[in-house]
Chain A
Amino acid sequence: MSLTENNTVEQYKCPNCGAAITFKAGTQNLKCEYCDCEVDIEVLEQYNQVSKEEENQVSWSDYEDGKGGIAWNQEESEDIKKYSCGSCGGTIMTDKVTVATKCPYCDSTVISSSEMGGEYRPDLVLPFQVSKEEAIAGLSKYLQGKKLLPDAFASRNYIEDVTGVYVPFWLFDSKVDGRISYKATKIKTWRMGDFQYTRTDFYMINRRGKASFVNVPADGSSKMDDTLMESIEPFDYTKGVDFNTAYLSGYLAQNYDVKSGELANRISERMGNSMVSLCDATVHGYSTKTMTHKNIVNSEGDISYALLPVWILNTKYNDQLYTFAMNGQSGKFVGELPIDKTKAVKYFMKSFVMSLASCSVVYAIVSQFM
Chain B
Amino acid sequence: MYWDDLGKAMLFIIVFSLVIAGSYLYALIRQMNNVRQQRGATEYMEEGSFKLQEKSDRFMYSHTNRVRIQTNNGSQGKPGGRRH
Contact = CB atoms under 8 A, between A and B. Distances in A.
Given A200-B63, A270-B38, A282-B52, A347 B44 contact: no
Interface in A184-229: 184, 191, 194-217, 225, 227-228
B41 A148 contact: no
A215 B67 contact: no
B20 A352 contact: yes
A215 B44 contact: yes
B22 interface: yes
A279 B40 CA distance: 13
Contacts of A208: 52-55
Contacts of A215: 44
B38 to A, nearest CB: 4
B72 interface: no
B57 to A, nearest CB: 5
B63 to A, nearest CB: 5
Query: How many B residues are at the interface, by size bracket?
Result: 35 or more
Contact of A211 (B21, B31, B45, B65): B45
A274 B45 contact: yes
Most buried by A among B28, B41, B84: B41
A360 interface: yes
A125 B56 CA distance: 44
Contact of B57 (A148, A179, A203): A203
A110 interface: no
Interface residues of A, number: 80
Q: What is the predominant secondary structure among interface residues of chain B facing chain A?
A: mixed
Contacts of B4: none
A69 B34 CA distance: 35
A87 interface: no
Contacts of A211: 45-46, 49-51
A129 interface: no
Interface of B: 9, 13-14, 16-18, 20-22, 24-25, 28-29, 31-46, 49-69, 71, 77, 82-84
Interface of A: 15-16, 32, 35-40, 43-44, 46-47, 145-149, 179, 183-184, 191, 194-217, 225, 227-228, 230-231, 233-234, 267, 270-271, 273-274, 277-279, 282, 334-339, 344, 347-349, 351-352, 355-356, 359-360, 363, 367
21 contacts: A195-B68, A198-B65, A199-B63, A202-B59, A202-B61, A202-B63, A206-B58, A208-B54, A209-B52, A212-B49, A214-B44, A215-B44, A231-B36, A233-B43, A274-B42, A278-B50, A336-B32, A337-B32, A339-B29, A351-B25, A355-B20
